[in-house]
Structure 1
Amino acid sequence: MKNIKVIAREKIINLETKQQYGDAGLKALDGYHEDVISVDEPYDGTAYLQEYVENHPELKGWSFEFAEL
């Protein structure tokens, strides 16, 4: 088993700067999601991402990042 951190960011644009909000701004706007999950080794990141989005439909269309802990 391996622990991975899943980070999801909603694509919210700051109208003043015309750039996407950073993590602090996304957290304030509820556009940031972070979760630590245990997975079996080896794991297929693409397949796991599809399964994760199916289990969390509210995150569909967000950008994802995986980090091994």
Structure 2
Amino acid sequence: MADARRRLRLAAGEADLAIRYARTPPVALASVELVRDVFFVVASPKLIRAKRLPLRLAELAELPPIDTD
């Protein structure tokens, strides 16, 4: 099993098979979609307690983003 942080070069023979996360399938490789992502907006009740639900997109945009770094 290869290190997930390093992208294997399939054409160079580094591996016979790879599972990659991508928005679009690679054009130079045969590929099969395994799963699809579903995203949900979640927030702390304290953060949105003064707001009326459901929130509109403009209201969501005003909320502080979560730092993923």
**What band does the TM-score fall into relative to the shorter chain?**
under 0.3
State the TM-score, normalizing by the size of structure 1: 0.27
State the TM-score, normalizing by the size of structure 2: 0.27
Q: Which has the larger radius of gyration?
A: 2
- More helix per residue: 1 or 2? 1
- More strand per residue: 1 or 2? 1
Which gives a bigger RCO, structure 1 or 2 (Cα 8 Å, sep 6+)? Answer: 1
